[in-house]
Structure 1
Amino acid sequence: MDLNALDDFRLVATHGGFGKAARATGRSKATLSRRVGDLEEELGARLIERGTQRLELTDAGQLLVGRTEGPMREVAEAFAAVRDGLAMPRGRLRIAAPQLFSQLALGGLAAKFLERYPEVQIETVSEDRFVDLVDEHFDVAIRINPQKDSDLVGRCFARDRLVLIAAPSVPMPKGRRDGLFKMPAVVMSTYRDGDVWTVRNGKLAIEPQPVLRLSSLLMVRDAVASGAGVALLPQSIVGSLLESGDLVTWGIAGDDVELWVLHTSRRLQSPKVRAFVEFMAQQYPSGSFTVPLR
């Protein structure tokens, strides 16, 4: 495929017409029209509806514009790096991350990255949902325990663990042979009734009796510290309260939680993406995710 023809089509689509694209770029209208026609012939699909007073993209044209925005931007950045003889990270870096990680660490990490690479402009979106890196034009995503995906590659940069915690005033249950105890619990709004929290290699199992359903893990932590009940929380957000004695732990639940930085394997790994992945891998040399002190 002729990338120049694809670039001309994107110019026409972006500017809203052949005439506007010609005036904005200094290219002739006839040349742009011919290049777009060549591209349509090569693809075997009409991209632009002719004969209308304003530019109208066909469904195929809209699909091509949407799916090529990220890759074409990365190709342009790669060309610029080669022309300059540099591999310096530059340009916009879009990051998708879970809300809790963003609240606890991403602001400081982003500032530290920009100090190292001042020609990068970072844009973050913090949402607790699965994002499609290609369709939503993200360069990288931070994910917790990601499922295997042939379209994504990356590195695990830190680990966390879930701990069962309570205020010191809440006595740990003892005395039942089956080890299953009903306890007042503070849970997330996504908690599924009937779940059992197991710690100490199965020797202690809690059947939560929700007294509070909250939308933030930090809210859950604070409610537990105030004595509302027990909760299952990441160690990273309760570590300082455990050290101060405001909370106590009843045990570790399950395997470690892995934090990954991912990017799509279908895109050219640009200098900014490569630099950010390497940067994240260097931030937690102990391997454990810790919350920086304010």
Structure 2
Amino acid sequence: MEQTLKNPEQNTELIIAGAGPAGISAALYAVRAGITPLILYKDGGALEKAKEIENYYGFPAPISGKQLYENGLVQIQALSVPALQEELLSIEYNGEYLVRTAFHNFHAKAVILATGTKRNTLSLKELKKYEENNISYCAICDGFFYRQKEVAVLGNGPYALHEAKVLEPLAKKVTILTNGKNPEFSVSELGSISIEKRKIVSAKGDTSLSNLELEDRTLFPLDGLFVALGTADSTDIARKLGLFMEDNHILIEPDTSTALPGLFAAGDCTGGLLQISKAVYEGALAGTKAVEYLQQQKREKEM
């Protein structure tokens, strides 16, 4: 379903991160309001993995999450909404938004975060003990505190490599811990960054995390651990942008706006009822309000 842009590095008015119920609904309502957005997405997330959905309006028989997800992609394709299947790495704000994916950079005046919320974590009960002590989920936010220290990034994909690259000029040593998996990036991209493939079996330390025990019982010493499992979701991006968070969810206004101008959030990343119906509603509202914001900015510029 992916569409190709003539100029992938182009400026665009509105970018929607995510192609689930919230993201697709946002796109549909943005188009109806007069602006065609660019959709960036990795996959269907939790929806695509749902075996059967039988509590959604208009479907008398159960439908698989995968089929509903694909229906959404067909719907935006019919409206000629450009959609690129590229992993989102980061969003930066400096009056306008710079959106980085694994392959391109995009500039936008408004952004809707709708990539859901991450459900994959490392199953080590000991890690909870150190959540506020040497464990971070944001290299841009906390890298400064680990200058000239030895740190590790947990993950094996482009997102983990991106976080490691942020830390590389700050830390004394950076290692990507793949936890038994092969890295999903080229070794030539590493620079001075090291790779450790052995599985992690335990976390150790007194009041702060100081060692990870590997599968062969050797200890891996570290001053800080940055978690970058899977792909960057909306809450990862929100942390880096300094948005208000509560219980790992983005705090939004009733109109889905956030603390940053032109940045909206919808779907599971905002918490509450984690259901398709709620995501569709918030997506529709976010798409409408994002267009209103852009139109207001245009009027003010013309005055």
Greater per-residue strand proportion: 1
- Provide TM-score, normalisation by structure 2: 0.26
- Provide TM-score, normalisation by structure 1: 0.27
Larger Rg: 1
Greater per-residue helix proportion: 1
